[in-house]
Amino acid sequence: MEAPHSPAVPATTLKIAVNSPEQMGELGRRLAKVLRPGDLVMLTGELGAGKTTLTRGLGEGLGVRGAVTSPTFVIARVHPPLGDGPALVHVDAYRLGGGLDEMEDLDLDVSLPDSVVVVEWGDGKVEDLSDDRLHLLIHRAVGDTADEGREVTVRGIGARWQDADLSVLAV
Ligand SMILES: Nc1ncnc2c1ncn2[C@@H]1O[C@H](COP(=O)(O)OP(=O)(O)OP(=O)(O)O)[C@@H](O)[C@H]1O
Ligand SMILES: [Mg+2]
């Protein structure tokens, strides 16, 4: 008999050492191979941790239009697919005070179930978007801001990630 499944229970955890911005981009490109339309990715980490750098690699891996940059003046930016893959929706939730309602009010001209949604600074704000989410926590390996070392903790949450093989992400 299958154990009852709670979507709040983390399914998989993986720690990856990332030693340079280039490796962070590579991690993003590998992530593109794992993601499917409708997936939600949450990126957590301090200012300059590398969230946008990772998202840029993800955009390259997915093959989407437009440069992935820090969405400083917009809360969300839609990158349409160049081929037949999913669009990338890149959200900076930093100024998204009201959480999910506000996100829906953005009236993005895109279908979220057909897109890969990546949210920076989304903790406590966008969890309701999906029971399933991949959470990437980026830590500076040492305190020195000049150091390029990062440790990325990947946590798959919900049924979607229960049996997912995340080992392809290890760089
Ligand atoms: N291992 C690394 N991975 C990613 N970025 C790194 C790494 N080492 C150094 N960097 C540098 O750190 C900066 C990361 O900037 P980025 O915009 O990706 O961070 P962020 O987490 O999105 O910040 P913010 O919270 O301001 O949005 C870049 O200048 C990048 O070159
Ligand atoms: Mg950023």
Is residue 68 a contact partner of residue 52, using CB atoms and an 8 Å limit?
A: yes
Please state the separation of Cα 10 from the chain's center in Å.
16
Query: pLDDT grade, residue 17 (50/70/90)?
Result: very high
Q: Is the CB of 48 under 6 A from ligand 1?
A: yes
Query: Which pLDDT score, from 0 to 100, does residue 98 have?
Result: 66
Cβ 76 vs Cβ 106: under 8 Å: yes
pLDDT in tens, 79-102: 999 999 999 999 888 877 766 667
- Tell me the average pLDDT of the chain: 87
Q: CA 100, CA 117: separation in Å to the nearest integer? A: 13
Q: 51 in ligand 1 pocket by Cβ < 6 Å?
A: yes
Cα of 4 to ligand 1 centre, how many Å?
Answer: 39
| Ligand 1 atom showing the smallest separation from residue 46 Cα | 25
Cα separation, 123 vs 141, in Å, equals 21
Q: Which ligand number lies closest to the CA of residue 138?
A: 1
- CA 127/CA 6 separation, integer angstroms: 14
Confidence grade of residue 72 (pLDDT, cut at 50, 70, 90): low
Q: Which of 154, 128, 115 is nearest to 28 (CA)?
A: 154
| 123-148 pLDDT tens trace | 888 888 889 999 999 999 887 777 89
